[in-house]
């Protein structure tokens, strides 16, 4: 297992600069009406849907957020942020190098002990098993609707190189390791987004 997380503080700095440039460009008077924006399939309650064709997953996210994709080392990264970068999280997907468990016919679960075996200096606290996905949407009152198959994941608190607390959600699916990272202040919103996660 490799720790393929991208440094969140670098991404935030990049997005703040890009967001500022985007805002100035978008609000510059041109004398012409703005061109229509290309939008993803709309969800109810002011959400859009993101679909990743390569890995076959999707999730709903607030319509004011933007998404970018890039490759870093052996990981494909999806970066999601609002224009001010006050809400930001990233999904890193990389090949899972763990052998199959012959008794279960699938890779062993992601645990605190398994992570520390390969990344001994990683800070892990408040680790617990959670379910990612299993719902089609979040209603205005915070209720979930339309159940589907959830994905078991390990949720824990860690710290980045600047000492910022991060909320981590890691799981293995179809031979790939998914590492979802956000600043801990975004945890509540992230959980709502992850509740809409689906694998096709």
Q: Please write the tens of the pLDDT for every residue from 86-124.
A: 568 999 999 987 765 555 556 667 889 989 988 999 999
- Residue 67 sits at φ, ψ, to 5 deg, of -125, 135
Q: Residue 87 is encoded by which pair of tokens? A: 């809400």
The confidence score (pLDDT) of residue 105 equals 55
Q: Which residues pair with 162 in a beta bridge?
A: none
Model confidence over 29-68: pLDDT tens digits?
A: 444 333 333 333 334 567 899 999 999 999 999 888 999 9
How many helices (H) and strands (E) the chain has is answered by 3, 15
Pairwise pLDDT comparison (4 vs 84), residue with the higher score: 84
Distance, CA of 170 to CA of 93 (rounded, Å): 10
Using the 8-state DSSP alphabet, how is residue 11 labeled?
Answer: H
Average pLDDT over residues 156-179: 91
> Are 195 and 61 in contact, with CB atoms under 8 Å apart?
no
């Amino acid at each position: 297992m490799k720790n393929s997380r991208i440094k969140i503080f670098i991404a935030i700095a990049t997005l703040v600069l890009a967001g500022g440039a985007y805002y100035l460009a978008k609000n510059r008077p041109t004398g012409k009406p703005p061109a229509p924006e290309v939008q993803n399939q709309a969800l109810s309650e002011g959400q859009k849907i993101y679909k990743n064709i390569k890995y076959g997953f999707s999730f709903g996210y607030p319509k004011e957020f933007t998404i970018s994709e890039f490759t870093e080392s052996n990981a494909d990264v999806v970066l999601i942020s609002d224009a001010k970068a006050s809400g930001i999280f990233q999904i890193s997907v990389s090949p899972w190098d763990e052998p199959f468990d012959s008794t279960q016919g699938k890779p062993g679960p992601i645990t605190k002990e398994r992570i520390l075996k390969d990344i001994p200096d990683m800070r892990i606290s408040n680790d617990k098993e959670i379910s990612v996905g299993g719902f089609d949407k979040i209603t205005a009152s915070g209720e979930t609707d339309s159940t589907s198959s959830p994905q078991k994941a390990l949720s824990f608190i860690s710290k980045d190189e600047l000492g910022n607390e991060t909320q981590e959600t890691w799981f293995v699916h179809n031979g790939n390791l998914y590492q979802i990272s956000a600043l801990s202040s975004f945890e509540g919103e992230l959980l709502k987004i992850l509740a809409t996660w689906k694998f096709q």
